[in-house]
């Protein structure tokens, strides 16, 4: 890898790490928020569903902004908006949680298309699955840090100060990225305009291409389970006998598995196995481990819970690099950010519906386990489809 590629990879890795920490904090400190404010636990799913809805709208329409202002500038915008959304949440009022979901969810959604646009320019095609997987290890790294430190800091400082520290970190790193703008935003097009038709045009361009359409459906299924796990796993653990800090460490330990797995899947997809087959294996892994997660109860030994959670993390938290690399490969020249936003908008639809379906099932049945099993069904369908297409 050349120097500029390493610099691009490092800066985007850190950008997505900070974004990932900010996104996971509401989930890992949710038990403290619920205890402090008396919220219904089902509202966690509603919050993450709203976050995904606003992220969906953002990702469908962010392509023109990335082209006009450059991926580095839009990475800064993502961090600032997420920080502002986190500040809103710290107020504790229900309307401010709505504003937090709107601003923070929309801001965080920009981070992946911008980083894909930047790396798509500097990464050699053959190394793209590995490069994108390395970059996307930032997501589980952020989840690991947030899951380990969030509950501990909430217990020591309170949940409000914890999210304020996260917001300050996002602001600070956005400022630190500024010197890189001259290097990485040189290909921006200041004359690029914005049209209301940009969002539907992006979606149509994805649906017209069969290969991109398959990636979009996979993103829908995978992200639905990922968001359900992010939103409810820690709370689920507290209902079967673990305290908040212990539940946070179990979550972090499981998510840590996703870091090497993302690199492994990218390496396999770059050199040994067709990316489609890698994604088929991940889809079936999500469905299998999601069903087993739904069976957790107080009689399960910690080792068994950890093993199943690790498998779920290795699949539901580890698909991004291989899918994004395929998206970048199939995108027209100069349109990687826009096409990535289009594919990921379907992922956001999954992230929107996953927590909402989970919340509805929780309200109807009172069971935290059923939601995990149901959220794995779309991945089962995707896995079967990908395998059938290979054999056809």
CATH class of the domain at 3-177+202-391: mainly alpha
Find out whether 349 and 220 touch, Cβ atoms under 8 Å: yes
Question: Do 44 and 235 touch, CB atoms closer than 8 A?
Answer: yes
Distances 137 to 10, 142, 173, 258, 362 between C-alpha atoms, Å: 11, 9, 18, 7, 31
Contacts of 204 (CB under 8 A, 6+ apart): none
Residues 6+ positions from 40 with CB-CB distance below 8 Å? 34
Digit-coded pLDDT (tens) for 103-162: 888 888 788 778 877 877 777 766 776 777 777 778 777 877 887 788 888 888 888 888
CA–CA distance, 241 with 13 (Å, rounded to integer): 35
| Distance set, CA 166 to CA 138, 169, 321 (Å) | 16, 5, 25
The span from the CA of 313 to the CA of 265, in Å, is 13
Instruction: Quote the pLDDT of residue 11.
Output: 85
pLDDT of residue 392: 40
Taking Cα atoms as reference points, which of 103, 104, 100 lies closest to residue 88? Answer: 100
Closest CA to 344 of 81, 73, 58: 58
Backbone dihedral region of 2: left (phi > 0), alpha (psi from -120 to 50 degrees) or beta? beta
Picking from 182, 168, 216, the residue whose alpha carbon sits closest to that of residue 323 is 216
Tokens of 126: 């053959």
Instruction: Say how far apart CA 306 and CA 142 lie, in whole Å.
Output: 19
Structure tokens at 220: 């829908």
For CA atoms 141, 147, 148, 153, give the dihedral sign: positive
Cα 148 to Cα 245: distance, rounded to the nearest angstrom: 8
Report residue 93 as tokens.
């009022």
Task: List, in sequence order, the alpha helices (H) in 123-180.
Answer: 128-136, 138-157, 159-176
* Alpha-carbon separation of residue 99 from 89, 95, 103 (angstroms): 8, 6, 6
Q: Which pLDDT value is given to residue 193?
A: 61
* CB 371 within 8 Å of CB 294: yes
Percentage above 70 pLDDT, the chain: 91
Contact by Cβ (8 Å): 374, 361: yes
What pLDDT score does 391 carry? 42
Give whole-number Cα distances, 193 to 62, 190, 196, in Å. 12, 8, 10
Question: What is the rounded CA–CA span in Å between residue 343 and residue 203?
Answer: 8
Structure tokens at 198: 């940009």
Please give the Cα distance from 146 to 155 (Å, whole number): 14
- Taking only the tens of pLDDT, the chain with its 392 residues reads 577 788 888 888 888 888 888 888 887 788 788 888 877 777 777 787 778 778 777 777 777 788 788 888 888 988 999 898 888 888 877 788 888 888 888 888 788 778 877 877 777 766 776 777 777 778 777 877 887 788 888 888 888 888 888 889 889 998 998 888 888 877 777 776 666 555 666 677 677 777 788 888 898 999 889 888 888 888 889 888 888 788 888 888 888 888 788 778 777 766 677 777 888 889 999 999 999 998 998 889 999 998 999 999 988 888 877 787 778 777 766 666 667 777 877 887 888 788 888 888 888 888 888 889 999 999 999 888 888 765 44
Question: How far is C-alpha 162 from the geometric centre of its chain's CA atoms?
Answer: 21
């Amino acid at each position: 890898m050349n120097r500029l590629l390493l610099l691009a990879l490092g800066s985007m890795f850190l950008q997505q790490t900070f974004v990932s920490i900010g996104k996971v904090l509401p989930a890992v400190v949710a038990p403290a928020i619920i205890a402090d404010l008396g919220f219904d636990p089902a509202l966690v799913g509603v919050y993450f569903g709203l976050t995904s809805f606003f992220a969906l709208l953002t990702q469908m329409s962010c392509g023109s902004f990335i082209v006009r202002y450059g991926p580095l500038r839009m990475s800064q915008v993502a961090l600032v908006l997420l920080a502002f959304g986190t500040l809103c949440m710290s107020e504790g009022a229900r309307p401010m949680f709505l504003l937090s979901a709107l601003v923070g969810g929309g801001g965080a959604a920009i981070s992946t298309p911008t980083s894909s646009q930047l790396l798509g320019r500097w990464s050699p095609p053959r190394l793209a699955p590995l490069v994108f997987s390395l970059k996307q290890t930032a997501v589980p790294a952020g989840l690991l840090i947030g899951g380990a430190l969030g509950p501990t800091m909430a217990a020591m400082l309170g949940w409000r100060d914890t999210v304020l520290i996260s917001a300050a970190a996002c602001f600070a790193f956005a400022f630190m990225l500024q010197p890189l703008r001259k290097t990485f935003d040189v290909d921006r097009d200041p004359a690029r305009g914005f049209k209301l038709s940009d969002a539907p045009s992006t979606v149509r361009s994805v649906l017209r291409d069969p290969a991109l359409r398959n990636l979009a459906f996979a993103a829908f299924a995978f992200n639905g389970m990922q968001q359900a796990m992010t939103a409810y796993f820690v709370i689920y653990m507290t209902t079967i006998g673990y305290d908040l800090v212990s539940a946070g460490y179990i979550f972090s330990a499981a998510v840590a598995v996703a870091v090497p797995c993302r690199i492994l899947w990218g390496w396999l997809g770059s050199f040994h196995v067709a990316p489609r087959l890698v994604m088929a294996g991940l889809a079936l892994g999500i469905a299998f481990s999601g069903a087993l997660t739904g069976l957790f109860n107080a009689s399960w030994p910690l080792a068994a819970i950890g093993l199943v959670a690790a498998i779920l993390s290795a699949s539901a938290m580890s698909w991004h690099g291989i899918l994004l690399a395929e998206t970048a490969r199939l995108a027209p020249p100069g349109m990687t950010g826009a096409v990535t936003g289009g594919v990921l908008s379907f992922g956001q639809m999954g992230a929107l519906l996953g927590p909402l379906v989970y919340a509805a099932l929780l309200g109807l049945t009172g069971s935290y386990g059923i939601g995990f099993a149901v959220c794995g069904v779309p991945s089962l369908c995707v896995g079967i489809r990908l395998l059938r297409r290979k054999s056809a």
